[in-house]
Amino acid sequence: MDSGFKDDSDGGYGIVRRLSAWGVHAFTGSGVVLGLLALLAAVNGEAKACLGWLGLALVVDGVDGTLARRASVKEVLPGIDGSALDLVIDYLTYVVVPAVFLYRFGLLPDGLGVALAAFIMMTSLYCFSNTGMKSGDNYFVGFPAIWNVVALYLWILALDPWINTAVVLVLGLLTFTTVKFLHPFRVRRWMRLNLLVSGAWLASSAALVVLYPDRPDAVWYVWLASSAYYAAVCLWRTLRGPVEA
């Protein structure tokens, strides 16, 4: 059985590299614990706690790729597929828990909650198995199953369940299209601005969750502005059409 270690003879430096690589995988793996805590919070009716754990999982997922590249985990531990590990955890935190969240907290119409949760989970399978889910310039192609973000929006906005149904159906169907969605950590163009806006969005989202149902104007406007920026970039990139890497 492959232990995951690369056979090398570089002494102590090699041990440090392997420990670093395993540390990155462990950091990635912590996402499954955060997902479990989020799921338990949802089951217990603790919406804020659930979104908080999902937010932490989002941060882990956002930075673990950068850490993996710096630690050269593919080279150091060729027997461990970090991409597969990441996808397994993401399906839990991006899809399963948010689907349960939408059902548990009455954000979907009575009698349709299970069917819509199943729709979310089924359409997301295509996203996670699609080998063409990224464009040449690292935008997501089709809706990237970020149901954790959708759950946050629908909870904060407190829309009518039938409006939420329309949102879920439209986004699920967009999974099978070529509409582009921004990946702020991988798209090189305007990366610094993308990261700045992402930080503002994350901070304002956290504040809105903690303060809910209050919406301080400053926080609310930052949240809306950062959301509008994302939407504008995605629309611009979609209308631009195919590009090379």
Q: pLDDT tens digits for 107-166?
A: 999 999 999 999 999 999 999 999 999 999 999 999 999 999 999 999 999 999 999 999
Give the number of C-alpha atoms closer than 13 A to the C-alpha of residue 104, restricted to the C-beta side.
20
pTM given for the model:
0.90
Report domain extents, the chain. 1-93
Q: Which two tokens stand for residue 54?
A: 């999902």
Q: pLDDT tens digits for 171-220?
A: 999 999 999 999 998 899 999 999 999 999 999 999 999 999 999 999 99
